[in-house]
Amino acid sequence: MSQGKKKKADTTLCRNFCTYYKPGKNEDLSCQGFIVVRRLLGKGKRLSQEKPQQALAPDAGIIDGLQGRVCAACAFRESDCDFVLSGGTLPPCGGYAMLCHLLGSGDLTLEDLDEP
Number of Cβ within a 10 Å radius of residue 38: 15
Give me the phi and psi of 114, to 5 degrees please.
-70, 145
Ordered by start, the domain boundaries in the chain are 56-111
Judge whether residue 4 has pLDDT over 50.
no
Judge whether residue 109 has pLDDT over 90.
yes
The C-alpha angle 63, 44, 109, rounded to 5 degrees, equals 20
Answer for the pair 40, 85: CB distance below 8 angstroms, yes or no.
no
Q: Enter the pTM of the model.
A: 0.83
Task: Provide CB contacts within 8 A for 8, sequence distance 6+.
Answer: 27
Per-residue pLDDT tens digits for 49-77: 998 998 888 899 999 999 999 998 998 88
